[in-house]
A and B are shown apart, each in its own frame.
Chain A
Amino acid sequence: MTAATVFFALLLYAAALLGAAGLAWRIRDYARTPAPLKIPTTPAPTTTGGVVLRMLREVTLFESLFKANLWIWLFGWMFHVALALVLARHLRYFTEPVWFWVVWIQPFGLYAGLAMVAGLAALWARRFLVERIRYISTPSDHLMLALLLGIAFSGLSMKFMSHTDIVAVKAFVLGLLLFDWQPLPMHTGLFVHLILVALLTAIFPYSKLLHAPGLFFSPGRNQVDNPREQRHLAPWAAKLDKAKV
C-alpha cells in the first residue's frame, strides 16, 4: 500500500463525509424552516402536478434563465448538461459490470467534457467582459470557475495527453466503496484531478453550490397557486391564529 493510496483514500472519504453531512444538514434546515405565506411567482400552476412540471422545466431546461438572458442560458445550460453527461460517464468507475446505458454514452461523455470547458470558459469570460457581472463577482465566484475548469482540464488531460491506468483506477474506486483498499496508480494528472474533486465535494454545502438543493426549496417556484382554495398555515403562524379567535 503506497502512501499516495492511503492519502487519497482518506482524502476522498473525508470529502465525501463533509459534503454529504453538510448537504444533509442544509436540506434538513431548509425543509424544517416554515414558509408562512404563499409567495409563488405568478402565473403559477394551480395543482401539485403543475408545480412538478414547472420544477422539471426549471431543473432540466432552465426556463426562467432562458427568459432572462440567452447568453447566460446558453453557456450555463451547456455547462450543466455537459457536467451531467460527464458524471454519468464516470459511473463506469463505480459499477461492475458497467450498466449498458453508461457504456452507450461513453463517446458522448467525451464531447461533453469539451463542451463543459467551453461553457465554463464563456461563463468566466463574462465575469471580466460584462461590466454588470464584473461588479457583482466576488473572488469565490472566480475561484469556483477555476476549480471546475481545473477538474475538467486535469480529467481531459488523462484522455488526450497522458493516460493513466484506468483499470487500476477503477479497482481503487471499487475498493473504496467496499472498504477493501486497492493501490492507486502514480500519476500527476490523476492526483490533481482527485484533489480538486475532493475539494469541490467538500465545499459543496458551504458555498453557492447550494443553488442546486436551494431551487427545490424556493417558495417562488415550488408553491402551488391555491391560496383562496386552500388555507395555508405555518406552525408559528398557527399559534398567532389561535390567539386571534
Chain B
Amino acid sequence: MATTQVTAPPLKTYPVIPILQAGAMAKSKPYAASAAMQQALGFPGELVEGWHDKAIAKLGDLLQNYRGLKVYLDACVHCGACTDKCHYFLGTGDPKNMPVARQDLLRKVYRRYFTWAGKWFPKLVGAEDLTKDVLDDWYSYFNQCSECRRCSVFCPYGIDTAEITMAAKEIMDSIGVGQKYSNEIIGKVHKVGNNLGLPGPALQDTLSSLEEDLKEETGLDIRLPLNQKGAEVLLITPSADFFAEPHVYSLMGYAKVFHAAGIPWTLSTHASEAGNFGLFIGNYGQMQKIAMRVREAALDLGARRLVVGECGHAWRVAYSFWNTLIGPFDFLDSNYPVPQHICELTYDLIQRGALTFDKSANDRYVVTFHDSCNVARASRMGGMPGGQFEIPRAIVRAVANRFVEMNPETIREKTFCCGGGGGLLADELLDLRVKGALPRMEALQAVVDSHGVNFMATICAICKAQFSKVLPYYKFNMSMVGGVHQLVGNAIRLGPK
C-alpha cells in the first residue's frame, strides 16, 4: 500500500476525452486471495496445473450457460460508442480501460479458441492465445471495472461489460487466481454473517448503543430490534450501516421511519448483510448461497415483508435476482412487492401522509443526489420505469428545502460510478479509485461552484465509503456525502401526534 502513489487528476470545468496513455494502469492490481480464502469458497488455492486448458474449458462452460456472454462476445463491431464512457478511462487515459478494449481482452481469447475465423486467421480478427501475459492483463484490467454498466447504456447492442468482467473473474477464480478483497469478504459472510465480520453479540451491543444515542437525541424509545420473531418487516441492510460513518445515520433514519409509522420491524444476525459479493465475482452459486440466508432468516423470524436498506449492488441482487435465486416468496404478504427498497417504503408513507417533516432541519444543506450505478441501471423502484430515479429524489425534496441536480449527462441512467464499486473498494486500489471518481468530482465541483452544494446524498454503502475516502483528494470535505435516510432522519417529526 505504501508503495502505491495516489494522485488525483486536476478537475476540469468541462469534460475532455483524455489522450491515450497506453499501459498507464498496467501495474494496478488488487492483492491476491490467499489459498485459505480461495479454498473456503471452493476455488483452487493457487494457479493450477494446466490452467490454460482449464480456463478455456471454463469459458466454454460459461458460453453454454450465459446467452448474454455469447452474444456480447460475438456482436461487437468496434464502433467506438463506448470508448469515452468509462469513468476509469476518463480518469486514467489507459486505453485498456475503454469498455471495448476491456471486453477485447476476453474476446480475443474467445475468438482464438471458439470461432472459425480466430482459429484460422487470428491476426486478421484480433484473436490471441491465452498466455500468462494475457492472464496478467485480465487480472489487472478486469479488476479495473466496477461493473457499473454505464457503457451498456450507450452500446447499440446493449453489450454489458459487467457481464464480461464477471465471466473473466469467474474463470480466474476457477483456476486459482482470486482477488483478496472480494473473496475474503464472501468468506466472512459465510462464517460470521456479514461482510464486516461483526459477530452477533457485537451487533447487539452496537444496536443497543445506537438506541441510547437515539434516546439522547429525541428523548424517545426508538428501537433497533434484532432477531425479533413475528416482526412485520425484516430489514436487510449493508453491514456498514451498523457502525461506519456516514452509513450509520441512515440506519438511524430507517429506525425513525419505522418508529413514526408504527411498523414492527427487525434485523437478523443470520442475514446481517445486504451486500452480495457473489455478484462481483460472477459466481451464481455464491450469489445464491449468500442470498439464501435472507430467505432462511425471513422464514425463521416469520417476517411478512422484506425491505432492503441503502446499498446499490445489494438492491440489484435483491430486485433483479432474489426471486430467481431464493424465491418464490409465497410466504410473504402479497400486498407488498418482494423485496421492497427502504426508499419505496418511506415514499409510500410520505404519499399516505403517515410521515411529517420539519424541512428546515436540513436547511444547513444544499443537497444534490448521486445515482448509484446498480440502482440506476440494474433495478427499479415503484411501478414505473425510472422510479429508481424519481423516488429517492422525491424523498429528498420532501425532507430538504434546497435541492440541486448535477449535470444531466452525469445523473440518472448516465450516472458515473463512484469509482469504488464491483469489489474494487480495496485500499491497495486507492489510486485507481481516486482517478475513477474524477467524472463525478467534476460534476460535483460544478454545482458546488454554481449553487453552493454541500451535501451529496446517495443510497449505496460503497458510494458512501468510497466518497468519504476520495473527496479529500479533490479538496472536498469528506462529510459532504451521506444517505438519503440521513436527511430523512434529520427532518422527521417524531413523538405523539
Question: Hey, what's the 0/1 contact readout for A208-243 against B, CB within 8 Å counting as 1?
Answer: 101100110111110001011111110011001000
In the assembled complex, A33 has its CB within 8 A of some CB on chain B: yes
| Cβ < 8 Å to A, chain B residues 282-335 | 284-285, 288, 292, 319-321, 323-324, 326-328
Q: Contacts A35-B67, A231-B328, A240-B288 given: A42-B385 contact, CB under 8 Å?
A: yes
In the assembled complex, B380 has its CB within 8 A of some CB on chain A: yes
In the assembled complex, B76 has its CB within 8 A of some CB on chain A: yes
Chain A binding surface, main DSSP class: helix
In the assembled complex, B337 has its CB within 8 A of some CB on chain A: yes
Q: Contacts A68-B85, A126-B80, A214-B71 given: A42-B158 contact, CB under 8 Å?
A: no
Bound-complex Cα distance A227 to B149 (A): 18
In the assembled complex, A165 has its CB within 8 A of some CB on chain B: no
Q: What's the least CB distance linking A81 to chain B, in Å?
A: 14
Q: Are the CB atoms of A227 and B75 closer together than 8 Å? A: no
Bound-complex Cα distance A141 to B377 (A): 30
Q: What's the least CB distance linking A167 to chain B, in Å?
A: 37
Q: Contacts A68-B85, A240-B288 given: A218-B78 contact, CB under 8 Å?
A: no
Q: Are the CB atoms of A218 and B380 closer together than 8 Å? A: no
In the assembled complex, B70 has its CB within 8 A of some CB on chain A: yes
Q: Contacts A72-B79, A135-B98, A136-B83 given: A30-B117 contact, CB under 8 Å?
A: no
In the assembled complex, A44 has its CB within 8 A of some CB on chain B: yes
Bound-complex Cα distance A217 to B326 (A): 26
Q: Are the CB atoms of B320 and A43 closer together than 8 Å? A: no
Q: Are the CB atoms of A217 and B67 closer together than 8 Å? A: yes
Q: Contacts A41-B377, A218-B71, A228-B338 given: A65-B79 contact, CB under 8 Å?
A: yes
In the assembled complex, B104 has its CB within 8 A of some CB on chain A: yes
Central interface residue in B292, B379, B414, by most chain A CB within 10 Å: B379
The residue on B at minimum CB distance from A217 is B71
Q: Are the CB atoms of A39 and B156 closer together than 8 Å? A: no
In the assembled complex, B202 has its CB within 8 A of some CB on chain A: no
Point out the residue from B82, B83, B152, B319 that lies within 8 Å of A41, measured CB to CB. B152
Q: Are the CB atoms of A43 and B386 closer together than 8 Å? A: yes
In the assembled complex, A178 has its CB within 8 A of some CB on chain B: no
A residues contacting the other copy or chain, number (CB 8 A):
64
Hey, which chain A residues are within 8 Å of B376, CB to CB? 42
| Cβ < 8 Å to B, chain A residues 130-158 | 130-133, 135-141, 143
Point out the residue from A26, A139, A228, A244 that lies within 8 Å of B323, measured CB to CB. A228
Q: What's the least CB distance linking B204 to chain A, in Å?
A: 30
**5 closest residue pairs by CB, A with B:** A220-B158, A214-B75, A68-B154, A138-B126, A68-B81
Q: Give 24 pairs: A residue, B residue, CB < 8 Å, sorted on A.
A: A26-B74, A35-B67, A58-B156, A67-B153, A67-B154, A67-B414, A68-B82, A68-B85, A131-B20, A133-B78, A137-B78, A139-B126, A210-B74, A215-B157, A218-B159, A219-B68, A228-B323, A228-B337, A228-B339, A231-B324, A231-B327, A232-B324, A240-B284, A244-B288
Given contacts A30-B70, A46-B380, A219-B71, 18 further A-B contacts (CB under 8 A): A33-B66, A41-B149, A41-B158, A41-B378, A42-B379, A43-B389, A46-B385, A67-B414, A206-B115, A206-B117, A208-B74, A208-B75, A208-B76, A210-B74, A211-B157, A215-B158, A227-B319, A240-B288
Q: Which residues of A contact B (CB under 8 A)?
A: 26, 29-30, 33-39, 41-46, 50, 58, 62, 64-65, 67-69, 72, 76, 126, 130-133, 135-141, 143, 203, 206-208, 210-211, 214-215, 217-221, 225, 227-233, 236-237, 240, 244
